[in-house]
A = this chain, B = another copy of it.
Amino acid sequence: MNTQALLQEMPETETVSERDMANAIRALVMDSVQKANSGHPGMPMGMADVATVLFNRFIKLDPLHPQWPDRDRFVLSAGHGSTLQYALHYLIGYPDMPIEELQRFRQLGAKTAGHPEYGHAQGIEMTTGPLGQGIATAVGMALAERLLVQRFGEDIVDHHTYVIAGDGCLQEGISHEAIDLAGHLRLSKLIVFWDNNSISIDGPTSLSTSMDQLMRFEAAGFDVQEIDGHDYEEIADAIARARSSDRPSLVSCRTIIGKGAPNLQGTEKTHGAPLGDSEIAAVRQAIDWPHQPFEVPEEIIETWRDAARRGADERREWCVRMAASPHGDDLRQAVLKQLPASLFEELGAFRREHVEKATKVATRKASEMVLGVINNATDLTIGGSADLTHSNLTVTPGMRDVTPQSFSGRYIHYGIREHGMAAAMNGLALHGGFIPYGGTFLAFADYARGAMRLSALMGQQVIYVMTHDSIGLGEDGPTHQPIEHLAMLRATPGINVFRPADIIETAECWELALKYSDRPSVIVLSRQNLAMLRHAHAEENRSSRGAYVLRETAEPRAITLMATGSEVEIACTAADMLRGQYKIPAAVVSMPSWELFEAQTPAYRRSVLAAAPRIGIEAAARLGWDRWIGEKGAFIGMQGFGASAPAPDLYRHFNITPENIVATARKLIN
């Protein structure tokens, strides 16, 4: 055989090095950002080598089956480097990521949004961009994997969660909450790559931090390593060691931001702006990349596709194991998050029982009782609290704790970490197999805001149990008394906010939270006892309309009292006084969910609001209430922050009383 023939026999792909593969990323990144005239080339070019080794040698993904439950999760916590993910997806062959999408980077309707957006393109495991969310959400994903292994066996559940995090992710407070939880639970299949490039937007990170990150992660219980992030074998060795560790891993990758850009690399100038035509030309020369923009030689693409082929093989083997596993069906059902129909029947029976008993309990207590029904009927729910278990009442009989030693429980002590809890719940929901719920005080929704917004943006079914929902919590005072929090949550798109008025509405709202599988719910609950307000059991879930007439009048209404949660009982008392003392027919409207009421037909909304003057009553800020009370209505609620005192004193002090409602109603009518 002559040389020519011999060369033809040798597959060309063998001549493609990981350096070539990484340079393909670099070229695609800089070209995408340049074409968009907007974006962040620095991180992707700096981390191209790490990503290449990870994807080329280790990661388990099948681009043709992006929802494969046992795939590795890849989270780009440093979401501004989105072109790294898009380039990877193009190169390994996700069908929905042709080169045209890279050319449409950051344009309206493109899959290639400025930051990775969950649901825009296959294989994007979560929305990132707000720093630190990725690493914290990944903790939930890695936890989900451990929980599913315990339930269904390592033969059908066995995957890693890989994270690329930047300096920003590690500076954000949420990273502390996340790594403490991950280290505590020894989530050994969580592997975090830190793009340790010593540059942030303002300049060198030494402008603002002197943190010894390795020591810090070690303190949290991580296995830590530091490597040259441009040395392929060091990268590979580090990943291999991290995969074999019995602890979560941090791999500090010393990198050069914008690596490949001869005049700009190593500086913040590569972080958040296109390199510009002349520097791009210089890159092409420096990395020996003579190809046209968006052009990658076929043999390099072919080599990249080997990673996908390896993933496809692994998936086929997994399918065989699934068929053989006694738990295959269970895993399938868990991933589909199918709730048993019987659960909803039991919730109906629960409502009937407590209408008959006229049960008077705090709605947080009602929630605990409802959760007892739910947690008995399904394993999908994973409970927890940010160290307020016996205040939020989120644990139900028989629930065991998740501990570092055992993942057979289903109750998580998230610690005093509201933000980390919310992000971990996002991760549990995104991973699949679970409907997470978790508790804190409503006022501390503040601490969880960043992750709660992502629940909404990603449309994840995460259920927030937020108790102590007003001045009704009493003595803890203004720091603990929410005022603006209902408005904050109601203004956030894509969240169902529920504020039930009694045990019946609490059951209804929980039912709705379970049924709305495409969005988060916030269930806002009282510390104080509240009377049962229904006159009779109805099959219908009346809360599903968002608002409804709880007390209608015999004669035409003279006034409509609209309230939520604990203030509905006060409105009912006022209505009784108006009728009894002044012969004024006052209707009472309960509004457990503004979002669901907004979604009703205008005719229904009109029938509830009616023509009489309206008073809105809520122990919270007025903002938003004018939508319901109209220009001639009145609002009775909070004008400022709360105070520390027993709850009844506070209601009197802030004039949220039946007497004030009666006086206001009489004024409005006259």
Contact = CB atoms under 8 A, between A and B. Distances in A.
Interface of A: 36, 38-39, 79-80, 106-110, 113-115, 117, 127-131, 167-168, 171-177, 180-181, 183-184, 200-203, 205, 207-216, 218-221, 385, 387-391, 401, 404, 413-417, 419-420, 443-444, 446-447, 449-450, 453-454, 456-457, 474-480, 483-484, 487-488, 490-494, 621-624, 626-627, 630-631, 638-641, 643-646, 649-650, 653
Given A106-B475, A215-B215, A491-B624, 19 more contacts: A39-B475, A106-B645, A114-B477, A115-B644, A130-B443, A130-B480, A167-B416, A172-B177, A173-B174, A184-B209, A200-B415, A202-B413, A210-B404, A215-B216, A216-B219, A219-B219, A449-B449, A487-B487, A487-B623
B173 A493 contact: no
A487 B36 contact: no
A129 to B, nearest CB: 4
Contact of A211 (B210, B219, B390, B401): B219
A421 to B, nearest CB: 10
A388 B622 CA distance: 34
B177 A413 contact: no
B479 A201 contact: no
B107 A646 contact: yes
B219 A479 contact: no
Contacts of A627: 622-623, 626
Nearest to A631: B630
Nearest to A629: B626
A479 B390 CA distance: 34
Contact of A130 (B385, B457, B479): B479
A447 B446 contact: no
Q: Looking at A183, A414, A479, A488, which has the most chain B CB atoms within 10 Å of its CB?
A: A479
Nearest to A177: B173
A182 B160 CA distance: 35
Given A117-B478, A129-B480, A219 B215 contact: yes
A173 B644 contact: no
Contact of A644 (B114, B414, B475): B114
B490 A623 contact: yes
A129 B476 contact: yes
Contacts of A36: 475
B644 A117 contact: yes
A426 to B, nearest CB: 13
21 contacts: A38-B475, A108-B653, A114-B480, A115-B644, A117-B478, A130-B479, A171-B415, A172-B447, A173-B419, A173-B420, A180-B210, A202-B385, A207-B401, A207-B415, A208-B413, A446-B449, A457-B479, A484-B492, A491-B491, A623-B627, A626-B626
Contacts of A130: 443-444, 446-447, 479-480
Contact of A183 (B211, B415, B417, B492): B211
Given A401-B207, A641-B493, A417 B483 contact: no
Chain B CB within 10 Å — which of A220, A404, A653 has the most? Answer: A220
A416 B168 contact: yes
Nearest to A389: B202
Given A115-B479, A173-B177, A488-B487, A416 B446 contact: no
Nearest to A633: B631
Nearest to A449: B446
Given A173-B177, A390-B202, A416-B171, A643 B113 contact: yes
A487 B624 contact: yes
A115 B641 CA distance: 14
A113 B623 contact: no
Contacts of A643: 108, 113
Most-contacted residue by chain B among A214, A627, A653 (CB, 10 A): A627
A510 to B, nearest CB: 23
Nearest to A620: B491
B477 A484 contact: no
A201 B650 contact: no
A631 B630 CA distance: 6
Given A202-B413, A209-B180, A641 B457 contact: yes
A201 B391 contact: yes
Contacts of A131: 416
A387 B169 CA distance: 12
A488 B475 CA distance: 25
Contacts of A205: 415
Contact of A113 (B128, B216, B390, B477): B477
A416 B167 CA distance: 8
A663 B435 CA distance: 44
A639 to B, nearest CB: 7
A493 B482 CA distance: 11
Contacts of A626: 624, 626-627
A197 to B, nearest CB: 14
Contacts of A177: 171-173
B210 A221 contact: yes
Contacts of A645: 106-109
A415 B206 CA distance: 10
A494 B213 contact: no
Contacts of A213: 219
B387 A168 contact: yes
Nearest to A181: B208
A493 B484 contact: yes
B415 A115 contact: no
Nearest to A484: B491
Which of A127, A417, A443 has the most C-beta atoms of chain B within 10 angstroms of its own C-beta?
A417
A80 B644 CA distance: 12
